[in-house]
Chain A
Amino acid sequence: MNARFALAGCALLAFGASVAAASPEEDRTAFVRTFQQRFPGIALDDYVHGGFMFSRASRSHYDDIMAFPPFLGDIERGKVLWDTPFRNGRTYAECLPDGGRNLAGTYPRFSAAENRVITFEMLLNRCRRDNGEAEYRYDDRATMGVLTAYARSLSDGMRMDIKVDGAAALAKYEEGRRLFFRRIGQMNFACSNCHLDNAGKVMRMETISPAVGQAVHFPVFRGGDELYTLHMRYTRCMMQVRAQPFPAGSEAFNNLEYFHSYLSNGLPLQASVYRR
């Protein structure tokens, strides 16, 4: 038996067939197949709606709020940060290919030169660094949070397109994958226990979203006004299971995001959405 499944019983059952040689593409299709068998009739593109995809009532609640999003001010503040030139006169749009359009869906990427995973948020910070500005903290809603809310919206509609090429990239992907399936914390949960095994079920009042589709719609605004980047959401789930969370921007989360984003390959990006 493959060691990475040793602690994830349910995942083992669901993924028994793919244990021997789980390439990223085999992982993704196994996740998708599992969900589509469990939730027949829900189009894959609807997975971007997470917990709202399961019922008409909750979906129309979501649509009502998205018709007049209470968080437009935050996105506007992000646009101001985006448009304001660095002190050397250059801008994010000049720093990034194609002005930063249709870019977020190709991140995280593996950098062979640095032997590490680079996220879209790291890319924004590199623009700052290379232009003589201080980097933003990855858990700061007022700077990186709103900046990424706007910057990612420039990729709305593009399809997620994550690549894992070569052994070194695969090693980072596998590291992220191991974290996803590892039981952690006092509550003894793996991410997979909730977002694979129990997607669609209700935890207290919240319907648990499937792992496929989670990475394409961040940041989210919980309750309509509280911004969470993807890493901040990871932190929150780890705190819920009473595990010592990794910080936003940590290498552990970058690798997790690499694996997690690959699962959403082919799905349309939609930045800044409402969540309960």
Chain B
Amino acid sequence: MFVAWVAVAATSSAAAADLPGRAIAHDQEKGNCLACHRMPADPGAETGATLGPPLADIKRRYPDRAALRAQIWDASVKNPATIMPPYGRHRILSEAEIDLVTEYIHGL
């Protein structure tokens, strides 16, 4: 049982590490998500950030991927006082990059 869990964890993080959205999310000149978020499911995500909530258990909490994408595109829709940058609205990332980041975050 334990072995199986480790194996699953290893495959899923290996899979996450392969996703092109990961590099965009981690890049300080691009998503820079690690400035504010920990990503407990991705062991390579090195940060001590506490500005935003840890990005975890995402698939269960965002069964609808579009809602996740909308959060990334413009967090101020949900929370007008947010400090999360409006990645889509301010064109910090392109639409295609936001798709890739959404795919990666969805797997966390």
Contacts and interface: CB of A to CB of B under 8 A. Distances in A.
Interface of A: 9-10, 12-13, 186-189, 193-194, 197-198, 201-205, 208
A13 B85 contact: no
What secondary structure prevails in chain B residues at the interface with A?
Answer: loop
Interface in B33-90: 34-36, 47-51, 76, 80-81, 83, 85-86, 90
Given A10-B81, A186-B92, A203 B86 contact: no
B50 A187 contact: no
A187 B92 contact: yes
A186 B85 CA distance: 8
A205 B47 contact: yes
Contacts of B35: 203-204
Nearest to B76: A188
Interface of B: 34-36, 47-51, 76, 80-81, 83, 85-86, 90-92
Contacts of A205: 47-48
B32 to A, nearest CB: 8
Given A201-B50, A203-B49, 7 more contacts: A186-B91, A187-B90, A187-B92, A188-B76, A188-B90, A203-B36, A204-B34
Contacts, number: 41
Nearest to B92: A186
B81 A9 contact: yes
Contacts of B51: 198, 201-203, 208
Contacts of B48: 202, 204-205
Contacts of A189: 83, 85
6 contacts: A187-B85, A189-B83, A198-B83, A202-B50, A203-B51, A204-B35
A83 B36 CA distance: 46
